[in-house]
Amino acid sequence: MDTFVDSSWYFLRYLSPRASDVPFERSAVDRWMPVQHYTGGINHAILHLMYARFFTKALFDLGLVGFTEPFLQLLNQGMVIMQGSAMSKSRGNLVVFAEELERHGADVIRVTMLFAGRVEDDVDWATMSAFGTQKWLGRVWRAVNVAASRSAAGIAPSGAASGLRRLTHRTIQGVTADLEHIRYNTAVSKLMVLTNDLVKAVDALGELGADVREAAESLVLLLAPMAPHLAEELWREVLGHDSSVHRSAWPTFDADLSREDDATLIVQVDGKVRDRITVPAGATEDECRELALGSERVRRFLDGAEPAAVVVRPPRLVNVVTRR
């Protein structure tokens, strides 16, 4: 059969590969289908996915399946290119993946690619730095080792909301949301911020508190999906846990601790940033508008004129629109 005919219903056949009297068993299809999430290259969107949807709708009309859409969610990932174009031996821009793994290790390459940009975007390997990732993971290794050696395990953090503890819980909340929405690059960025604060804490003299231990363990747990080998060694050999980090519970956050006290209000005039104001995280629309219009920098650009409109998105943004 033609390739596109076969690929238009293979996902149904996979559910009952040993069935010899029917193409697929309806009971298996009802249990497992439709597919919740489909990740594929953009070239699939026109051919394979179009035919798969057509076949599914036809099978539904025949009463053979109970749904009309085979894939509920679609993500088209970008390509890894080199020097602005697809890799090719003839162009001489080929990157030998095995050599990169040998040079840097699987965890470094994985995190480098996750941090490079949005999943949907193409990534140019020529602009990426595996050495930067290697340096950061080295800082993670050192910080967790120091935290483990100078803080006691099994002691619950105090109720006091230290800056590190607040950041730990904000990071858990943010990374969890990023992973759920496939924002891997921003998840890595948040882990880098937590690493910086953990390094500052472990560089302090004296015995480290339970908040530092909590930050170190949370960092390793959150890092595990991205750098599984490093996280496993830190979790078992350094932090002293008996079971695998990959069988451990995902960390939870305290909503009170993760809540930010302050926010930076960006004030624009006709779409251009003219001021940044620190406001309470719970600032209302009226409060943000008043602060923005009272800004000396904003008044200078208004030059005494009344704004045509003021668009407020508290507590992060105010855009003042003039009549120009």
Q: Is there a domain that residue 60 lies in?
A: yes
Find tokens 């996280």 and name the residue: 231
Q: Is there a domain that residue 166 lies in?
A: yes
Q: Is there a domain that residue 222 lies in?
A: yes
Residue 277: its pLDDT value, please?
95
Contact (CB, 8 A) for 60 and 67 = yes
Q: Is there a domain that residue 253 lies in?
A: yes
Residues 240 and 298 in one domain: no
Residue 206: its pLDDT value, please?
64
Cβ neighbours of 9 (radius 10 Å): 20
Q: Is there a domain that residue 156 lies in?
A: yes
Residue 12: its pLDDT value, please?
95
Torsion of CA 87, 130, 173, 163, to 10 degrees: -160
Q: What is the CATH number of the domain that holds 189?
A: 1.10.730.10
Q: Is there a domain that residue 108 lies in?
A: no
Residues 249 and 275 in one domain: no
Q: Is there a domain that residue 104 lies in?
A: no
Residues 245 and 154 in one domain: yes
Number of domains in the chain: 3
Residues 220 and 159 in one domain: yes
Residues 266 and 298 in one domain: yes
Residue where a domain stops, chosen among 77, 92, 121:
77
CA 72, CA 172: separation in Å to the nearest integer?
28
Does an H or E element contain 114, and which?
Answer: helix 106-115
Angle at 281 between CA 219 and CA 117, to 5 degrees: 45
Q: Is there a domain that residue 135 lies in?
A: yes
CA 89, CA 98: separation in Å to the nearest integer?
16
E-state strands within 51-151: 74-77, 80-81, 123-124
Contact (CB, 8 A) for 153 and 112 = no
Q: What is the pLDDT along the chain (324 residues), one digit of tens a residue?
A: 577 788 899 999 999 999 999 999 999 999 999 999 998 887 777 788 889 999 999 999 999 999 999 999 988 888 888 877 888 777 777 778 888 888 899 999 999 999 988 888 888 888 888 899 999 999 999 999 999 988 766 555 655 558 899 999 999 999 999 999 999 999 999 999 999 999 998 887 666 788 999 999 999 999 999 999 999 999 999 999 999 999 999 999 998 888 887 889 999 999 999 999 999 988 999 999 999 999 999 999 888 888 999 999 999 999 999 876
Residue where a domain stops, chosen among 62, 77, 92:
77
Angle formed by the axes of helices 130-150 and 210-223, to 10°? 140
CB under 8 Å to 301, separation ≥6 — which residues? 269, 274, 322
CA 321, CA 324: separation in Å to the nearest integer?
9
Residues 34 and 50 in one domain: yes
Terminal CA-CA length for the chain: 64
The sign one gets for the Cα dihedral 92, 98, 104, 108 is positive
CA 252, CA 201: separation in Å to the nearest integer?
22
What single-letter amino acid sits at 65?
Answer: V
Q: What is the CATH number of the domain that holds 309?
A: 3.10.20.590
Residues 134 and 213 in one domain: yes
Question: Encoding tokens for residue 154?
Answer: 């099994």
CB under 8 Å to 86, separation ≥6 — which residues? 79
DSSP-assigned letters across all residues of 167-214: HHHHHHHHHHHHHHTT-HHHHHHHHHHHHHHHHHHHTSSS---HHHHH
Residues 253 and 145 in one domain: yes
Residue where a domain stops, chosen among 257, 275, 298:
257
Residue numbers of the domain that contains 270: 262-321
